[in-house]
Amino acid sequence: MGWIALAPLLVALGRGSLSRAFGLGLLTGLVYFTGTLYWITRVMVVYGGLTVWSAVPVNAALVAYLALFPAVFAIVMRRLMLAHGAPAVMMAPFVWIATELGRTHLFTGFPWVLLGYSQATELPIAQVASLFGVYGVSALVASVSAAAALVALSPRRRTRLGAALPVAVLVLAAALWGSWRVGRSTLTRGGEPLRVGMVQGDVNQEEKWDAARSRSIFQEYLRMTRQAIAAGAQFVVWPESSTPFYFEEDPLDAGRIRAIARQTHVPILVGSDQIERGPPPKYYNAAFLVRPDGTVGAVYRKMHLVPFGEYVPLKSVFFFAAPLVEAVSDFSPGGTAVLLPVRGHLVSTAICYEIVYPALVRRFVRGGSELLTTITNDAWFGTTSAPYQHFAQASMRAIEEGRYLVRSANTGLSGIVDPYGRVLQESRLFTPDVLVGDVRFLTDTTVYARIGDVLAYAAVALTLLALGLARRVKSRF
């Protein structure tokens, strides 16, 4: 559906005013984001202390904000079509990814379910991400909608053929090249191998800080860690905020993790909150790398916090969501892309929602990361589509960067993705599990790792240029 999703909108933009175009784009965005972010209401009701009647407006406000980006896309496309006629519809891929880039960065960004993620499991097409990132995949997918719309709008056979044929060739070329790249799989034969263990404790959110359960939860994580090491794991990864205590504040229990690392000579990555004492104290969502000698090798603090999950933006505006404001922990963002030393190599970790930021993960790789990890707690989402969306988006980072990706999730989905997007290991939701699998430390870089989001920024420049030229041309529609 992703290939033709924008075609109805683009055809509808063939006539009418700019205000009509805005309305059509807004409607498209409301359908788009209501259908993919519906689960936020559940999170706020179950864990934020809100009633359904107060959670729905908060969710609706986020959906309405995100819908503004397709609305801007629609206005720009209508303006270009007014100036240049139906052929201007072929600018849609560039205008679309320009708005996706804006959605990624404006007001801290919310780049969830970009159009290119629809192809995360279509591996030949997804390989385009190794060249131009997920935005390149979005542009390729949007080009099919643009060509379909032009075929519908243009009465001239030559124009229709001139749109459809190049796009068909481009998609076919991308698929053939992607199939060849996946078939060669050269990255899976390079680098130093490493056996990784992921522990999935399956701890319900309401049980995590229950004093009666905290001891058994921690004991289970220790048992699963030993199980992973017994299966050959040379590096063990715990999920986000997995300890029912602050790692640095409880030397006795933290010492038990250190002891396992020291006794087995296996490094352990532990997700745990961190407090920085001061007036006032600051709280961080963090990951601690415990080295084989039991010492802490590095601490990474989460840099991109989840709005309405780890902080509440515009608290005065959302006054009607007072219980949510009180329930949400007021975390501070970290400021450094810290890399973690593992067996003589550098490893990065993205905590939860951070994995959907392509530029952040690229920053890790540019800094020397040879293996991507991501730790998360998706218990909030229940059995909705959100955990599957999250896993698919994480998989795209592996393709972009040419790195293995290890994902440890409290309630799933945990797993391993290879540098071509193939899922090598995957757990089930809400099932305790220990996964052990093989990855490799890699140093070769993809085109995307070298050039970043050049295509997306070029699309912004091209869109602005096209708008500037449109001002000098009389309307043709």
Domains, the chain, ordered by start = 7-186+452-470 (no CATH), 192-442 (3.60.110.10)
Q: Report pTM.
A: 0.94
Which amino acid does the sequence have at 152?
A
Tell me how far apart the alpha carbons of residues 262 and 128 are, in angstroms, rounded to a whole number: 43
Q: At what angle do helices 92-105 and 454-470 cross, to 10 degrees?
A: 120
Q: Residue with structure tokens 């784009």?
A: 25
Interval 404-421 mean pLDDT: 97
Percent of the chain with pLDDT over 90: 79
Lowest mean pLDDT among 47-51, 84-88, 279-283, 362-366: 47-51
DSSP-based three-state secondary structure for 25: helix
Q: Which of 352, 354, 370, 400 is the catalytic position? A: 352
Q: Give pLDDT, residue 360.
A: 97
Residue of 465, 446, 415, 456 whose CA lies nearest to 197: 415
Q: Give pLDDT, residue 130.
A: 98
Interval 284-310 mean pLDDT: 91
- Tell me the H-state helices in 88-191: 92-105, 123-126, 129-153, 157-184
Q: Give pLDDT, residue 306.
A: 80
Q: How many CA atoms lie within 13 A of 176 on its CB side?
A: 6
Tell me how far apart the alpha carbons of residues 415 and 158 are, in angstroms, rounded to a whole number: 49
Q: Strand 282-290 and strand 268-276: pairing?
A: antiparallel
Q: Please report which confidence band the pLDDT of residue 380 belongs to, taking 50, 70 and 90 as the band edges.
A: confident
Interval 194-200 mean pLDDT: 98
- Tell me the H-state helices in 13-91: 18-37, 39-47, 52-84
* Dihedral (CA of 236, 233, 224, 294) sign: negative
Q: Please report which confidence band the pLDDT of residue 163 belongs to, taking 50, 70 and 90 as the band edges.
A: confident
Q: Does residue 302 have an active-site annotation? A: yes
DSSP-based three-state secondary structure for 139: helix
CA 379 remoteness from chain centre:
17
Q: Give pLDDT, residue 309.
A: 65
Q: Which of 302, 310, 354, 401 is the catalytic position? A: 302
Q: What is the mean pLDDT of the chain?
A: 93
Which amino acid does the sequence have at 387?
P
Q: Please report which confidence band the pLDDT of residue 322 belongs to, taking 50, 70 and 90 as the band edges.
A: low
Backbone torsion region of residue 107, taken as left when φ is above 0, otherwise alpha when ψ lies between -120 and 50, otherwise beta:
left
Q: Which of 240, 370, 400, 401 is the catalytic position? A: 240
Q: Give pLDDT, residue 244.
A: 85
- As a whole number of Å, the CA-based R_g of the chain is 24
44 or 199, higher pLDDT = 199
DSSP-based three-state secondary structure for 48: coil
pLDDT digits (tens, 9 = 90+) for 224-277: 999 999 999 999 999 998 988 899 888 899 999 999 999 999 999 999 999 998
Secondary structure E strands in 130-230: 192-200
Q: How many CA atoms lie within 13 A of 198 on its CB side?
A: 32
174 or 215, higher pLDDT = 174
Q: Give pLDDT, residue 476.
A: 52
Tokens read off for 166? 């190049």
* Number of Cβ atoms within 10 Å of the Cβ of 219: 11
> Are the CB atoms for 447 and 177 separated by under 8 Å?
no
Find all residues with CB under 8 Å of 175, minimum gap 6, and list them. Answer: 124, 125
Q: Please report which confidence band the pLDDT of residue 51 belongs to, taking 50, 70 and 90 as the band edges.
A: confident
Find all residues with CB under 8 Å of 42, minimum gap 6, and list them. Answer: 381, 382, 384
Q: Residue with structure tokens 């920024």?
A: 457
Interval 400-406 mean pLDDT: 98
Q: Residue with structure tokens 């124009």?
A: 159
